[in-house]
Every structure is written in structure tokens, then in C-alpha cells.
Amino acid sequence: MIELSDKGRKARRRGKLLATLAFFLWQTAAYGQMNHQHASEAACDEPILRCASKVTPAFGPDGTLWLVWIAGGQISVASSKDRGHSFSAPVLVTKERLNLDWGPDARPKIVVDRTGGIALAFSIFRDKAFNGQVLYTRSADGGQSFSELRPITPSSESQRFEALALDADGSVFAAWLDKRNRVPAQQRGQKYEGAGLFFASSNDGGATYSESRLAQDNTCECCRLGLAFAGPGRPVIVFRNIFEGGVRDHAIVTFANPATPGEVHRVSQDDWQIAACPHHGPSLSISTAGTYHVTWYTNGTVRKGLFYARSQDGGRTFSDPLPIGQSDRSPSRPYVLAGPHGTAIVWKEFDGEQTTVNLMTSHDDGVTWSKAKAVAKTADTSDHPLLVSDGQRVFLSWMTKADGYHIQPIEDEP
């Protein structure tokens, strides 16, 4: 054993101290980095599909699957000719990282028209107060390039939660939530609640949009919209409305034509009186027989959880709400699609460790439904489950942080 001199001991002690300090700081830095990664909904931070937090699918007329996603602060698009087994090289729609709307109900939207033209829309936060702006773009060369991003309206008030749908004549219908009526109301000394449901349409495949118009004022400002067509030129929007007394229940409006909204009807009396952002919007699909299928979330005094209802009179009246999912498993994000061989609903459930996507199907236009069955699962955060059809089959589209992007046919399910 070698005895150390006092000087040697001091130097070693100092060295130890430095090493301890360095280790502590390294741990703190590593924790900061780890924490940063854990805080993210995405697996990584590049603009590639594997790093996406939100993915929206659409099939083109030739059966090509198109995806638009948010990853690495950018919006990208890619396509698959083999129903999701392999994808083309992604094309960046944005030229730089943008302050994209990452809200739980926000996602980029895509429609692919008969000529293969692609219309996109998405929201960004335009300022530090998180005021939103809806931007749109179009590709006329089969997704190889996208036009300059443009705002869907010149209004500088906050807009979010856009929806896009393709009409039978190839025009694109857009709807979104818009705060422009807040300032004039406040100037009149009136309290303004929520946001206006605005709409516009494009007759040139999403290259330009008509002047925006109001369908319904004072709707809930923080939930996704459900949009579908009841027939050519007749868009239908389901949205969380603000009824008398601050009740945030669902309402539906069927347009007489793309410029004329009809009467607003109530989907159900849930009596959810709340001054809050539920961040949990509805879903709508309309079958070829004209049946409206709606799913939604509520936490009202009349009922709580996820529900489904159908309307056979053009959205004037709805069936009694049918509960969806196991109430002790936090069911969320219901999505309905009336496909070529039946109607399907998917939603998420969480057991404290794992999230499952559950499916139930109906072969009589929503009168009776199969038992729920788990069709996918993951052990980390995930996007909303979505359904998409190529006109022949229905697919579940689901982005997960741990396991990447899934697209799976569900027609063989019960």
C-alpha cells in the first residue's frame, strides 16, 4: 500500500470532487435530454414517416394510398402502390420547420381528386398567443411538388381544426373554426363564446378557395370537425356546438349546396355544460343509402363516454345514443366509416399500460353492431385511429410512437 502525502490526498480529493460534479451535471444534462424526448409524442425528430406524430391517409382513384404527416416540425407526403407495404420517397410540403398546431385534435388533411390532384390543408400557430392559421396547398403533378402555402382566408383572426372533403364534381369543400367574430362582439360590449364554423370551396382542385362564409357562430373552439357528403353538392358537418347555458353537445348541419348551410340540428342531448376545451371532436360518415352515422365523446350529466347514433332523415333526428367501449378503460377517439361492405367504428382504450384499437362493425347500416374486438395495440403514445377505404376494402390507419405506422384491412373482422 502506498501512503499518500497530504498534497496528493488533496489533489485526489479535488479530482474526485470534480468528477462527482461532472457526473452530477452530466446526469442532469442527460435527464434533460431524456425528458425532452419523453415529452414528445414522436419517436424521433426528422420529417420522415417513422417520426410522425399525426398521419392522415387517403386513397387516390387508382388505388394509390397517400399519406400526409407531421414530423420534425414539417408536413410531408408519400404514397404507396401496395397498400402500405412500401412507400415512395417523402416529399416535403413545408420549406422549413413551422410552429404547427400540435393540439390533440389537429392533423393535416388530404384529398386526392379524380385526376390525381392532391389538396392539402393544415394549421399552424401564427403567434406566441397560439392564434392559429389554416394554410393550404395543392399538387398538380401527382405529389411530386406542392404549390406555395397560402392562408385559406385573409382574416388574421385565429383559425384551427380545418376539414377537407371532395365533392362528386371534383370540387373541394373546406370547413374550419374561426375566431373572427370575437373582436366585433367584444367591441359591442358583448361576451363572445367559442368560434364560428366557417366554410369555403374550391372549384380548381384546391388551387384557390372561395370567400369564407359562416355556417354557425359560437361553436366549441377546440374540437375536430366531422365532414362528409349527403349527396353531390351537399356537404354535412358535425361539430361540438355551444348550446344555451354553455352546453357543449353535438350539432349537425346539412348544406343545400356548397354555399348554403341548412338548419342546425342537435345530435343528442348529453347536457355537457362545461367552459373548457374538450380536445375531443366527433366523426361522421354517410352511407350510400343516405344514413348518417355519427360518433362522439361527451361527459354530460345525461351520459358519459363514447356514443354512436344514426339518422335516416338527413340529420334532423337521431337514434338513441349507443354507448361504445368499456367505460373503465378510458375509451376515446371514436371514428366511423360507412364502407362498401358495411359500417365500422374504431376507438382507443387504455388499461393503464397499453392502448388498444377496438373495432365493431355493422352489416345493416348501423341498426345492429358486432361485439367489440381489439385489432391493434401499442405500449406508448399513439395518434387517433382512422378508417379509410379504397372503394373495395376498409383499412385501419394508425400511427404509434413505439411501433410506427400501421395500415391493416379490417374486412375480415366480425
Partner 1 sequence: MKRQLLAGVFLVAFLLSAPASEAPPQLKPFGRGSWQDVLRAHAGRPTIVHFWGVTCGPCKVELPLLGEFMKDHPSIDVVTISADLVPNLSAATQSMLEKSGLSSAENWIFSDGFVERLRFEVDPSWQGDIPRTMLISREGTITTIEGSAEITDLEKWSDQQPAATR
Taking the complex as a whole, how short is the minimal distance between the CB of residue 413 and partner 1, in angstroms?
24
Tell me whether residue 155 or residue 299 sits nearer to partner 1 (CB atom).
299
Taking the complex as a whole, how short is the minimal distance between the CB of residue 187 and partner 1, in angstroms?
18
Cα torsion through 40, 43, 48, 54, rounded to 10 = -60
Taking the complex as a whole, how short is the minimal distance between the CB of residue 411 and partner 1, in angstroms?
28
Tell me whether residue 234 or residue 401 sits nearer to partner 1 (CB atom).
401
Q: How far apart are the first and last CA of the chain?
A: 77
Taking the complex as a whole, how short is the minimal distance between the CB of residue 29 and partner 1, in angstroms?
3
Question: Quick check: helix, strand or coil at residue 34?
Answer: helix
d(CA 109, CA 95): 18
Taking the complex as a whole, how short is the minimal distance between the CB of residue 190 and partner 1, in angstroms?
16
Binding site for partner 1 (CB under 8 A): 11, 14-15, 18, 21-22, 25-26, 28-29, 31-33, 35-36, 38-42, 102-104, 125, 128, 130, 221-222, 273-280, 297, 299, 304, 327-330, 332, 348, 350, 352-353, 355, 380-381, 401
Do 357 and 344 form a contact (C-beta atoms < 8 A)?
no
Taking the complex as a whole, how short is the minimal distance between the CB of residue 96 and partner 1, in angstroms?
16
Tell me whether residue 10 or residue 213 sits nearer to partner 1 (CB atom).
10
Tell me whether residue 132 or residue 206 sits nearer to partner 1 (CB atom).
132
Taking the complex as a whole, how short is the minimal distance between the CB of residue 15 and partner 1, in angstroms?
7
User: Which element (helix H / strand E) includes 60?
Assistant: none
Q: Kindly report the number of other CB atoms within 10 A of residue 170's CB atom.
A: 15
Contacts of 121 (CB under 8 A, 6+ apart): 108, 109, 134, 135, 136, 137, 152, 162, 164, 174
DSSP calls for 94-131: SSS---B---TT---EEEE-TTS-EEEEEEEE-STT--
d(CA 205, CA 183): 33
- For the record, the C-alpha cell of 319 comes out as 337514434
Tell me whether residue 332 or residue 397 sits nearer to partner 1 (CB atom).
332
Taking the complex as a whole, how short is the minimal distance between the CB of residue 1 and partner 1, in angstroms?
24
Tell me whether residue 189 or residue 352 sits nearer to partner 1 (CB atom).
352
Q: Kindly report the number of other CB atoms within 10 A of residue 212's CB atom.
A: 21
Contacts of 151 (CB under 8 A, 6+ apart): 133, 134, 135, 136
Tell me whether residue 54 or residue 234 sits nearer to partner 1 (CB atom).
54
d(CA 351, CA 189): 48
Tell me whether residue 112 or residue 225 sits nearer to partner 1 (CB atom).
225
User: Which element (helix H / strand E) includes 33?
Assistant: helix 6-39
Which among 313, 322, 325 has a CA at the least distance from the CA of 373? Answer: 325
Tell me whether residue 89 or residue 275 sits nearer to partner 1 (CB atom).
275
Tell me whether residue 113 or residue 349 sits nearer to partner 1 (CB atom).
349
Taking the complex as a whole, how short is the minimal distance between the CB of residue 276 and partner 1, in angstroms?
4
- For the record, the C-alpha cell of 259 comes out as 354555399
Backbone angles phi, psi at 92, to 5 degrees: -75, 130
Backbone angles phi, psi at 184, to 5 degrees: -60, -35
